[in-house]
Chains A and B, each alone.
Chain A
């Protein structure tokens, strides 16, 4: 019990003292996960919309792959990205292994199936006749997509939350492709693993609390947007 209290006190001390390393790790964590989520949303929502609205050969296979991807172990994704970015790998020349970019790629691949899956489910739940009405009102392709996003915003914000949650909480892939290098690729999850391994439980608890509070704040904002009444 004392250990936990010590951890909470340590977390408070680190924050109040404005510990440079903690702030730097926190900002890096946010930047990497936000970039990965933004990328997953940019590609995932239109992809989810296409899978929801179009029927084509191989669609079932893609949907099954998306559903599988939603439960993909991060270490498998990490291994895949590491193999591709490894110096002798297909994209080794880009010299991205053990960089924040590699971590963005890994987190993006973990978020993408969640964003596609949630988008697919929420867009598919829209009354097809309402989509027909959107076309009948004179909407072009992009306007229909915009109206669909607007109409399914509750479900899509769940996609944002799930995608961001998967990215920020992930540790295995970040370790594999980021290497947990101090000042470069260390994020809250990898730093927590490191401090736990060293037996620095107070610091590990402090880092975990920062991670939890950060995730809570982001989700609080998204929930507020999601539950807001739209009367324009």
Chain B
């Protein structure tokens, strides 16, 4: 869907090296205009390096970065003035909250009255107007991050570059901040690049996703597709697809893995060809009784691990090891104990197939 949207930023043949070692290599990446592109990947995957390259604060060894079809580094200051950035740390200067929000406008030569007007508007939008006169050093972490985001929006940027801006604040504050941010970004529609390693954040805020592993771009597409249909084993492991089973196609739409027969509606591979079958743990439903639908695996409960709002259980079925996440209510209803037999139900639409695994 997003592939049809016009690219606002184009990354071509980008190589960043440090000490002669490649830390980022991206052949082609288009950042769609007016959408939120979430940049996901494990630590050291090159997400922040890519963001640094887009901000023109680090110099690539090779490659081209284009904004509206023009090279971004032709006039770095001018390019940066079309963009804004916010990071995990609020990075406020030693001045009042309002002066911080006004600063990007001041650097652009905007007159005092207009600066004040815009700063007050964005302070209001982020719910921090009463803090306008307070010194930046007297703010809580959540307040400071709101100021940082208000400052990023104040210059009305075409492009917003954000490096994990919600990860440094506590959970309740974070929730409210993400809600406000989502509302503001959907109204103002800047082209946004959001670096995050949080799945919920990516699914909630992202229109488009780019996944990096080991300095290479491994998959792009809508966030739900990247999470539910990983392109390879490394992506599957990163996005939390705990169940990745090696198998082979045995008949049309049916695969054999670890002595278990699994149906899938995913695109088919050649008969007998190896494939990886991927199922997210929250897609496995545990029941006591079979209901006649496809993919009802008889399994034995081997381990139970409470994980906050869900119970993660480890089961065995044939030679397969299954990981399933159940809600607390569903788990209580099942009343399972270790060693109990249970039915693990997997919808064929939730079995993702990776062709030609290495």
Task: Name A residues whose Cβ lies closer than 8 Å to a Cβ of B.
Answer: 127, 129-130, 132-133, 135-140, 143, 147, 150-151, 229-232
B238 at the interface (CB under 8 A from A): no
Q: B55–A136 contact, CB under 8 A? A: yes
Q: A130–B104 contact, CB under 8 A? A: no
Supposing A139-B107, A232-B99 touch, asked if A151 and B94 sit within 8 A by C-beta, the answer is: yes
Q: How far is the CA of A150 from the CA of B95 in the complex (A)?
A: 9
Point out the residues of chain A lying under 8 angstroms from B85, CB to CB.
Answer: 133, 136-137
Point out the residues of chain A lying under 8 angstroms from B133, CB to CB.
Answer: 231
Q: Which residue among A143, A150, A231 has the maximum number of chain B CB atoms within 10 Å of its CB?
A: A231
Q: B93–A136 contact, CB under 8 A? A: no
Q: B55–A150 contact, CB under 8 A? A: no
The 5 A-B residue pairs whose C-beta atoms are closest, nearest first, are A136-B85, A138-B81, A133-B91, A137-B104, A138-B80
Supposing A130-B93, A133-B85, A231-B96 touch, asked if A138 and B161 sit within 8 A by C-beta, the answer is: no
CB-nearest residue of chain B relative to A133? B91
Q: How far is the CA of A137 from the CA of B93 in the complex (A)?
A: 12
B71-104 with Cβ < 8 A to chain A = 77, 80-81, 83-85, 87, 89, 91, 93-96, 99, 103-104
B135 at the interface (CB under 8 A from A): yes
Q: B91–A230 contact, CB under 8 A? A: no
Q: A232–B87 contact, CB under 8 A? A: no
Q: A231–B108 contact, CB under 8 A? A: no
CB-nearest residue of chain B relative to A130? B91
Point out the residues of chain A lying under 8 angstroms from B103, CB to CB.
Answer: 137
Point out the residues of chain B lying under 8 angstroms from A230, CB to CB.
Answer: 94-95, 135
Interface range for B: 20 to 34
Q: B87–A133 contact, CB under 8 A? A: yes
Contact of B161 among A130, A136, A229, A231 (CB under 8 A): A136
Point out the residues of chain B lying under 8 angstroms from A132, CB to CB.
Answer: 52, 55, 57, 91
Task: Name B residues whose Cβ lies closer than 8 Å to a Cβ of A.
Answer: 52, 55-57, 77, 80-81, 83-85, 87, 89, 91, 93-96, 99, 103-104, 107-108, 133, 135, 151, 155, 161
Write 29 A-B pairs (CB below 8 A) sorted by A numbering.
A129-B91, A130-B91, A132-B55, A133-B91, A135-B57, A135-B80, A136-B55, A136-B57, A137-B84, A137-B85, A137-B103, A137-B151, A137-B155, A138-B80, A139-B107, A140-B77, A143-B107, A147-B93, A150-B93, A150-B95, A151-B94, A230-B135, A231-B95, A231-B96, A231-B133, A231-B135, A232-B95, A232-B96, A232-B99
- B38 CB → nearest A CB, Å: 19
Q: A129–B87 contact, CB under 8 A? A: yes
Q: How far is the CA of A123 from the CA of B68 in the complex (A)?
A: 36
Point out the residues of chain B lying under 8 angstroms from A135, CB to CB.
Answer: 55-57, 80
Q: How far is the CA of A137 from the CA of B91 in the complex (A)?
A: 11
Point out the residues of chain B lying under 8 angstroms from A139, CB to CB.
Answer: 77, 107
Q: B84–A136 contact, CB under 8 A? A: yes
Point out the residues of chain A lying under 8 angstroms from B57, CB to CB.
Answer: 132, 135-136
- A145 CB → nearest B CB, Å: 12
- B193 CB → nearest A CB, Å: 12
Point out the residues of chain A lying under 8 angstroms from B89, CB to CB.
Answer: 127, 129
- B291 CB → nearest A CB, Å: 55
Q: How far is the CA of A143 from the CA of B77 in the complex (A)?
A: 11
Supposing A129-B87, A150-B93 touch, asked if A137 and B107 sit within 8 A by C-beta, the answer is: yes
Given A135-B55, A143-B107, 15 further pairs, Cβ under 8 A:
A129-B87, A129-B91, A130-B91, A135-B56, A136-B83, A136-B161, A137-B84, A138-B77, A138-B80, A139-B77, A150-B93, A150-B94, A230-B94, A230-B95, A232-B95
Q: Which residue among A127, A132, A133, A137 has the maximum number of chain B CB atoms within 10 Å of its CB?
A: A137
- A113 CB → nearest B CB, Å: 27
Point out the residues of chain A lying under 8 angstroms from B151, CB to CB.
Answer: 137
Point out the residues of chain B lying under 8 angstroms from A150, CB to CB.
Answer: 93-95
Q: A151–B93 contact, CB under 8 A? A: yes
Point out the residues of chain B lying under 8 angstroms from A138, CB to CB.
Answer: 77, 80-81, 83, 104, 107-108, 155
Point out the residues of chain A lying under 8 angstroms from B94, CB to CB.
Answer: 150-151, 230
